[in-house]
Amino acid sequence: MGPTATALVGFGTWLVLLTIALALYRGYVGATTGKPLNSFQPDGSDMPGFGRRLTRARDNCFETLPVFAVIVLGAQLSGRLDVTNGLAPWVLYSRIAQSVTHIISTSVSAVLLRGTMLGVQLVIYLYWASRLLG
């Protein structure tokens, strides 16, 4: 498997791991507080602290995976994986760093780091798109 495919599968796997962590956390909260499992808000707004941050980290991952996948698909279909191979691992690394930072803290410095990690991903996507379309 090449670097682009590895990063894409890694990104999907990261999303699965975050989803499992969220399900386990909600199960824990339900078991320890009596909160019915079918009463959790999808956006995590009913869970303070860690639960809310974990929900948002998972949702942020879910929201950006399609962008990565579509650009990678375009590169694959056009036979241009050479465009994505070099930076694809950095998309995955910055995504994981963004998620972990989101889960750990909402301090100003953490928010700045998260924004930087998202910015890295977006700049890479735009760079790839300009190379693939140009």
Q: What percent of the chain has pLDDT over 70?
A: 100
Where does the chain have alpha helices with state H?
3-33, 50-77, 81-85, 88-104, 108-133
Number of domains in the chain: 1
- Helix 3-33 to helix 50-77 angle, to the nearest 10 degrees? 160
Longest dimension (CA), the chain: 56
Residue 1 has pLDDT above 90, yes or no: yes
- The Cα 43–Cα 61 span in angstroms is 13
Give pLDDT, residue 49. Answer: 92
User: Which is more confidently placed, 128 or 44?
Assistant: 128
Question: Do residues 5 and 41 lie in contact, with contact meaning Cβ atoms separated by under 8 Å?
Answer: no
Chain centroid to Cα 20, Å, comes to: 14
In the predicted model, what is the mean pLDDT of residues 11-24? 97
For the chain, the first-to-last Cα distance in angstroms comes to: 27
Range(s) of the domain holding residue 104: 3-133
Residue with tokens 């998972």: 58
Give pLDDT, residue 48. Answer: 84
Q: What is the pLDDT of residues 33-88, one digit of tens each?
A: 999 989 999 989 999 899 999 999 999 999 999 999 999 999 999 999 999 999 99
Give pLDDT, residue 98. Answer: 98
In the predicted model, what is the mean pLDDT of residues 123-132? 98
pTM score, whole prediction: 0.93
* CATH number for the domain that contains residue 61: 1.20.120.550
Residue 89 banded pLDDT, cuts 50, 70, 90: very high
Residue with tokens 């798109």: 129
Question: Do residues 65 and 12 lie in contact, with contact meaning Cβ atoms separated by under 8 Å?
Answer: yes
Give pLDDT, residue 9. Answer: 98
User: Which is more confidently placed, 37 or 121?
Assistant: 121
